[in-house]
């Protein structure tokens, strides 16, 4: 028999996130005394102290409370999803959907999501957040996001994912590079060239390792956190780079030519995927988003194939 209520779990999550019983009571529209009593009853029900109350300084979680918070969020979220599914089965998709997007994918995915997914489902409250793929996944595991668009090479061990688009790395050189007229290149041919690095954590931790495992130790000469700044430096002859995302036009922002070279031989793939919490059953909203990304990814691949 379950000795605690869903309402108590909702109150506990509010107290833990706000760090104060009084603030949680205000947010939940109940009295401070009622909130404090609810926390006392929850601790008796689970048989452990979850909160340490500090006079005039709010509350902190115990070790047991920290673990229980993750479980509580999951239970509350699942209960909300069950309720939403009842509504969704009888009407259009509705409710909140918070999606994270790895920053280097944002320009390629966020516009099409905003145009095609949200317009088809106008009753969904879609929020899109950009950032580092690993950090976004950590936030997702804590219950703050529903899913994260990222690369398969960036996935954390505790998440599930669906691959939505293949991602084979390619070499990018400027129009005046000695290899610019080639259609493909062996990585060993670039051993003495300067490398322009997309300087974001997931690239540093994955792409450079991938290149070294593929037989090339890049000579990093220039770096930038901007995808287009990297392309611009390459276009100006400052070095080559290796990227995964492929804009449809081989020109830099200032109109200088670029040349795409396929990599000869084996190289680690970095497919685009949607990561979601493995322990949760995807809601109808999330399943609709997964299906949309799969369809959009297939369309992007068809267009890329026509442009090669």
The highest-level CATH class for domain 92-163+274-307 is alpha beta
Arch. (CATH architecture) of 170-263: 3-Layer(aba) Sandwich (3.40)
The highest-level CATH class for domain 6-85 is mainly alpha
Give the C-alpha separation, 109 to 115, whole Å: 10
Q: What is the pLDDT of residue 91?
A: 52
Q: What is the pLDDT of residue 90?
A: 46
Same fold, 6-85 and 92-163+274-307: no
Paired tokens of 157: 């061990």
Report how far apart, in Å, the C-alpha atoms of 218 and of each of 88, 179, 192 are: 51, 17, 8
Domain definitions of the chain by residue range: 6-85, 92-163+274-307, 170-263
Low-confidence stretches of the chain (pLDDT beneath 50): 90
Contacts of 169 by beta carbon, 8 Å cutoff, 6+ apart: 207, 210, 242, 243, 244, 263, 267, 268, 269, 270
pLDDT 10s digits, 63-107: 999 999 999 998 888 887 777 666 555 456 888 999 999 988 999
This prediction's pTM: 0.66
């Amino acid at each position: 028999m379950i000795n605690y209520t869903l309402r108590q779990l909702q109150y506990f999550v509010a107290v833990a996130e706000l760090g104060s019983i009084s603030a949680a009571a205000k947010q939940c529209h109940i009295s401070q005394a009622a909130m404090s009593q609810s926390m006392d009853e929850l601790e008796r029900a689970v048989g452990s102290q979850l909160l340490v109350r500090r006079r005039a300084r709010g509350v902190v979680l115990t070790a047991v409370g920290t673990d229980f918070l993750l479980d509580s969020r999951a239970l509350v979220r699942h209960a909300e999803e069950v309720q939403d599914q009842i509504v969704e089965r009888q009407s259009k998709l509705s409710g909140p959907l918070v999606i994270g997007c790895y920053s280097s994918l944002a320009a390629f995915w966020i516009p099409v999501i905003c145009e095609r997914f949200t317009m088809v489902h106008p009753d969904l409250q879609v929020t899109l957040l950009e950032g580092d793929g690993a950090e976004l996944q950590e936030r997702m595991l804590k219950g703050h996001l529903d899913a994260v668009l990222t690369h398969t090479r960036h996935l954390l061990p505790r998440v599930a994912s669906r691959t939505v688009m293949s991602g084979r790395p390619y070499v990018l050189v400027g129009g005046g590079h000695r290899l610019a007229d080639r259609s493909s290149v062996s990585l060993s041919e670039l051993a003495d060239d300067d490398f322009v690095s997309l300087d974001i954590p997931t690239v540093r931790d994955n792409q450079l390792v991938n290149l070294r495992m593929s037989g090339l130790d890049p000579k990093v000469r220039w770096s930038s956190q901007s995808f287009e700044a990297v392309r611009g430096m390459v276009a100006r002859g400052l070095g080559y780079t290796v990227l995964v995302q492929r804009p449809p036009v081989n020109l830099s922002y200032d109109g200088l030519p670029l040349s795409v070279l396929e990599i000869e031989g084996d190289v680690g793939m970095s497919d685009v995927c949607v990561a979601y919490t493995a322990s949760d059953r995807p809601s109808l909203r999330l399943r609709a988003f997964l299906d949309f990304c799969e369809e959009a990814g297939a369309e992007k691949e068809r267009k890329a194939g026509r442009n090669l």
